[in-house]
Amino acid sequence: MLLLGIESSCDETAAAVVEDGRRVLASVIASQVEEHKIYGGVVPEIASRRHSEAIVGVVEQALAESGKSLSQLDGIAVTYAPGLIGALLVGVNFAKGLALSTGLPLIPVHHLRGHIASNYLTHPQLEPPFLCLVVSGGHSHIVEVQDYTSLRVLGKTRDDAAGEAFDKAARAMGIPYPGGVELDRLAEEGDENAYSLPRPRVEGAPLDFSFSGLKTAVINLLHNARQKGQEIKIPDLCASYRKAVVECLIENFSKAVQETGARQLAAAGGVSANRLLRRKLEGLSRETRRELFLPQLSLCGDNAAMIASQGYYEFLAGNTAGMDLNACAQRSIDLG
Ligand code: KG4
Ligand code: ZN
């Protein structure tokens, strides 16, 4: 079964052609990141306009690279939630138009379910159930993937997402948006014990996260140092901060592994590219003798191949939509 995937939830316009949810025939991503960099973050209005301009070309390119024509497709999978509403609407409306003109089924896909599916593309042998740490720019979840379309959230962030926490701290350190990637790179050269930072916990909810206090601690540390004229070693601060965020993620995830007795572990989302997080997850996998699945680096960030992959399983479960499909800025992953 051949699906076209379309993704436009944030600042990447993407299209892909995927066979049977597992084999990527083509994956095209048009990133707007350079444009948003000037503003230090994604400007929703600009994102929507750039998606409108890019979407036709990106879909045409994905089809051309796959060597398939529209008539050979079996369905159109599109990210409909969660994300920036104006950005999502571009992909959703384009997919609706294409479904209407071709008569192909329209398959709505939850963006975070898509991130999880990046593991199906990387590891052909992976099948649910597994426990997944979903860490993106907008979300931080511990998810029990019971089946391809049956998921349960065990823990989530009460404030900032892990990616957001990385980006905001990076910005305070003068690293341009999206700072998470560069902060990770600089941290590799720094001393992770140079600065002492808190490990925030949520009282009464051991699987939930809270990152805003950690981010504020870094901002205060920078302000205090500036006022006192003290020099801050940025790679050292990056390393100390990365260690704090990753330890919070790992601590809760390992608690969830104990609680659920999960046999297979996975991670997904932009932050799953983080070098320290990957190393710590590998350590956890060795210690607990659980098998670990990580998405290949090229599939950690937003892409449409993961949407087409999850779309395949949504289609098999009968989850298609009519022409009244709408985009949702917020929607829980367990609702689909
Ligand atoms: O999943 P994603 O591409 O988009 C959303 O769905 O939000 O995640 C983007 C986030 C950004 O916050 C970015 O800074 C972060 O992932 N990110 C990283 C790394 N690579 C991307 N954060 C830490 N370390 C990285 N290597
Ligand atoms: Zn994403």
| pTM of the full structure | 0.98
Identify which of 33, 46, 120 has the alpha carbon closest to the alpha carbon of residue 84.
46
Gap from CA of 237 to ligand 1 centroid (Å)? 19
pLDDT in the model for residue 86: 98
Question: What is the number of residues in the chain?
Answer: 336
The continuous run of DSSP H or E covering 151 comes out as strand 150-156
| Dihedral class, residue 289 (left if φ above 0, else alpha if ψ from -120 to 50, else beta) | left
- Which bound ligand lies closest to the C-alpha atom of 84? 1
- Which bound ligand lies closest to the C-alpha atom of 270? 1
Residue 177 contacts residue 41 (beta carbons within 8 Å): yes
Q: Are strands 23-31 and 12-19 parallel, antiparallel or unpaired?
A: antiparallel
| Dihedral class, residue 40 (left if φ above 0, else alpha if ψ from -120 to 50, else beta) | left
Could you tell me where in the chain the CATH 3.30.420.40 domains are found?
2-117+299-335, 128-298
Q: Which residues line ligand 1 (CB under 6 A)?
A: 10, 115, 136-138, 163-164, 166-167, 178, 180-181, 184, 269-271, 273-274, 301-302
- Which bound ligand lies closest to the C-alpha atom of 11? 1
Pocket test residue of 109, 119, 185, 271 for ligand 1, highest count of atoms within 8 A of CB: 271
pLDDT in the model for residue 181: 97
The number of the ligand 1 atom at minimal distance from the alpha carbon of 178 is 14
Residue 197 contacts residue 218 (beta carbons within 8 Å): yes
Beta-carbon count within 10 A of 102 CB: 14
- Give the Cα separation of 62 and 67 in Å (integer): 9
Identify which of 273, 329, 294 has the alpha carbon closest to the alpha carbon of residue 110.
329
Gap from CA of 101 to ligand 2 centroid (Å)? 29
First to last CA, the chain: 21
CA 278 vs CA 124, 208, 266, 295, 297: distances in Å:
20, 20, 10, 10, 11
Which residues are CB-contacts of 113 (< 8 A; sequence separation ≥ 6)? 149, 151, 310, 314, 333, 336
- Give the Cα separation of 47 and 9 in Å (integer): 9
The number of the ligand 1 atom at minimal distance from the alpha carbon of 277 is 24
The hierarchical CATH code for the domain 128-298 is: 3.30.420.40
- Give the Cα separation of 28 and 59 in Å (integer): 8
pLDDT in the model for residue 42: 95
Identify which of 262, 279, 293, 253 has the alpha carbon closest to the alpha carbon of residue 118.
293
CATH H-level, domain 2-117+299-335: superfamily: ATPase, nucleotide binding domain (3.30.420.40)
Residues of the chain falling short of pLDDT 70: none
pLDDT in the model for residue 242: 98
- Give the Cα separation of 288 and 277 in Å (integer): 16
The continuous run of DSSP H or E covering 307 comes out as helix 305-316
Which residues are CB-contacts of 20 (< 8 A; sequence separation ≥ 6)? 1, 312
